[in-house]
Amino acid sequence: MNIVLEFRKVPTDNSNSISGLMSVLRKVIIVLFFYHISILPQNNIKRGNLLESHPLYIFEGLGPTFTRTDYSEIGVRYDIKIGAEYLLKSFSNHAFGGRISVNLMELTASDPTKVPYTHVTDILSLNTGFLYTFRLNDKIYPYLTTGVSVTYFDPRDSNRDKLSGNKQNQYDKLTPDFYFEAGVKYRLSKNLLLFSEGSLYINDDDLLDDYDNNHYADFYGTLVFGISYAFNFNEDADDDGVPDEWDICPYTPAELSVDKYGCPIDNDIDGIPDYRDKCPDTPIGIPVDRFGCAFDNDNDLVPDYLDKCPDTPRNVLVDSLGCPLDTDRDGVPDYLDLCPDTEEGSKVDSTGCYKLDDSKNFIESIIIYFESGNADLDEQAESKLNKLVFYMNNYENIKWYIEGHKDRIERSSGEEDISLTRAKNVLDFLLRKGVSIKKLEIFNKGDGFSVADNNTIDGRSKNRRVVIFGIK
């Protein structure tokens, strides 16, 4: 609920106790106005919604009045206002409450056809009403108020003498009014605000000017400019805009954005606030570590919720699914594969090397290809031979045959056929690797056993080869 007090300027009349009270109140209000400007704390705005933690406001202001009575010309005088308002705490941009205010004002109007020519009416009113406030942003707060007033009025002429009806006590000078207010507050600091508001008061009688012609009720308006001071009933230790009694995280570091519960924003809802979250986009519901990242138990940089192989040994290279790399796709991961370059589709054993079928006498052949006119072994050829060495050294009952081939247009350099040179180079390599000469035998096949068309470049490239196979 919001409470608002309004006071307006009233001429002093020492013969009238009400006028004397008005004079005293006017002086008090002016002193308080400048006291608030110079003394009240003005902490810097940090964050948060003012509606969440500052429910009580004390305000005062000054401004002109505008009067419409039975007198034909609208007059302007002064108004002093003091009040208080109370807002129900709100965690949205809308808040409701109540307002109470006291107005101390002077109304006037003129009419050349009336006697006296000008009336001056002193007003002292007590106003209560409902308040609605909207948070436009952290600084601007428009508001509306409507309610009723209990108004004491004292019509006089310009010489401050009571008008005839007033002098003869022909009517009750205490009357109810209805009023409407619209204004806006501008936040200067954590607690201090400027405000400007317009008010319209509709008098239940038609006697503010001492005339009653029964045509319409007298009414008057004010335009007030002033200051408002917000009192924080609820302490806010971390100054995040959420009072401590509502704040689930009352010690949030300064300058952090918080939610309506006073806790730092956690967009992925993993329990680690964004300002500490190294992985702020983790899918909702995924368990995370203290850094806000999904668990990765095998430390392969693929989080467990995506890892198809969550128990991969440390320091093993993995693919996007978290499984160890298997370059030759033989089902044996590279870190266990003794033959990581096995030809795709080949049968391999648990070591990743070619599998020997005990039910067969013939062991699948291995083919090494050569450039035209060249008998040297390249890296790829040596890699294939290295894999074969394992079987040659571990299977005693197998005889290995090495056949050298060439294409039909190749010419040998020197006395030795290039196909034979190729076979000898393979033999020499295997001997250097420790394979027994007893297990090996070479043959020179020349160009008589072509497997492709020697009239094409592609065909000749397939004919320049060494074939290695084993027989039990």
- Per-residue pLDDT tens digits for 215-274: 666 888 899 999 988 876 566 667 777 776 677 787 788 778 888 778 888 888 888 888
Judge whether 397 lies within some domain.
yes
pLDDT of 376 above 90: yes
Distance CA 196, CA 193 (A): 10
Instruction: Please report which confidence band the pLDDT of residue 148 belongs to, taking 50, 70 and 90 as the band edges.
Output: very high
Please report the pLDDT score of residue 186 as a whole number: 92
What is the helix (H) or strand (E) element at residue 459, kind and residue range?
helix 457-463
Structure tokens at 399: 């005889």
**In this structure, are 160 and 67 located in the same domain?**
yes
Nearest Cα residue to 189 out of 43, 36, 54, 48: 43
Judge whether 7 lies within some domain.
no
pLDDT of 96 above 80: yes
**In this structure, are 289 and 208 located in the same domain?**
no
Q: Please give the tally of structural domains in the chain.
A: 3
Please report the pLDDT score of residue 329 as a whole number: 84
Percent of the chain with pLDDT over 70: 82
pLDDT of 11 above 60: no
**In this structure, are 54 and 183 located in the same domain?**
yes
Tell me the average pLDDT across 440-451. 90
pLDDT of 35 above 60: no
Q: Which of 26-30, 35-39, 64-68, 290-294 has the lowest mean pLDDT?
A: 35-39
Percent of the chain with pLDDT over 90: 22
pLDDT of 57 above 90: no
What is the helix (H) or strand (E) element at residue 226, kind and residue range?
strand 219-231
**In this structure, are 145 and 226 located in the same domain?**
yes
Tell me the average pLDDT across 335-348. 74
Residue 448, C-beta contacts closer than 8 angstroms, at least 6 positions apart = none
Please report the pLDDT score of residue 54 as a whole number: 54
The per-residue pLDDT of the chain, averaged, comes to 80
**In this structure, are 226 and 270 located in the same domain?**
no
Instruction: Please report which confidence band the pLDDT of residue 442 belongs to, taking 50, 70 and 90 as the band edges.
Output: very high
Instruction: Please report which confidence band the pLDDT of residue 60 belongs to, taking 50, 70 and 90 as the band edges.
Output: confident
pLDDT of 14 above 50: no
Q: What is the CATH number of the domain that holds 465?
A: 3.30.1330.60
Please report the pLDDT score of residue 39 as a whole number: 39
**In this structure, are 172 and 115 located in the same domain?**
yes
Distance CA 388, CA 337 (A): 14
Q: Which of 64-73, 214-223, 365-374 has the lowest mean pLDDT?
A: 214-223
Please report the pLDDT score of residue 233 as a whole number: 55
Domain boundary among 277, 299, 325: 325
Give the residue, 306 or 358, on which the prediction is more confident. Answer: 306
**In this structure, are 196 and 309 located in the same domain?**
no
Judge whether 39 lies within some domain.
yes
Please report the pLDDT score of residue 53 as a whole number: 53
Judge whether 225 lies within some domain.
yes
What is the helix (H) or strand (E) element at residue 20, kind and residue range?
helix 17-39
Give the residue, 388 or 50, on which the prediction is more confident. Answer: 388
**In this structure, are 316 and 370 located in the same domain?**
no
Domain that includes residue 116, residue range: 17-231
Please report the pLDDT score of residue 464 as a whole number: 93
pLDDT of 4 above 80: no
Judge whether 260 lies within some domain.
no
Judge whether 333 lies within some domain.
no
Evaluate whether 310 touches 324 at the Cβ level (below 8 Å).
Answer: no
**In this structure, are 386 and 313 located in the same domain?**
no
How do residues 166-195 score in pLDDT, each as one tens digit? 888 888 888 888 999 999 999 887 778 899
**In this structure, are 374 and 442 located in the same domain?**
yes
Distance CA 410, CA 417 (A): 10
Structure tokens at 4: 């608002």
Please report the pLDDT score of residue 165 as a whole number: 87
Judge whether 135 lies within some domain.
yes
**In this structure, are 107 and 51 located in the same domain?**
yes
Distance CA 220, CA 119 (A): 14
pLDDT of 126 above 90: yes
Tell me the average pLDDT across 268-297. 86
From edge to edge, which strands make up the β-sheet containing 440-446?
362-369, 465-471, 399-405, 440-446
Judge whether 341 lies within some domain.
no
Instruction: Please report which confidence band the pLDDT of residue 130 belongs to, taking 50, 70 and 90 as the band edges.
Output: very high
Domain boundary among 325, 349, 373: 325
pLDDT of 127 above 80: yes
Q: Which of 166-170, 209-213, 402-406, 435-439 has the lowest mean pLDDT?
A: 209-213
pLDDT of 472 above 50: yes
Question: Rounded to 5 degrees, what are φ and ψ at 418?
Answer: -65, -30
Domain boundary among 206, 231, 256: 231
Q: What is the CATH number of the domain that holds 140?
A: 2.40.160.20
What is the helix (H) or strand (E) element at residue 120, kind and residue range?
strand 118-134
**In this structure, are 23 and 131 located in the same domain?**
yes
Residue 86, C-beta contacts closer than 8 angstroms, at least 6 positions apart = 1, 2, 3, 55, 56, 57, 97, 98, 99
Give the residue, 190 or 432, on which the prediction is more confident. Answer: 432
Nearest Cα residue to 3 out of 89, 99, 78: 99
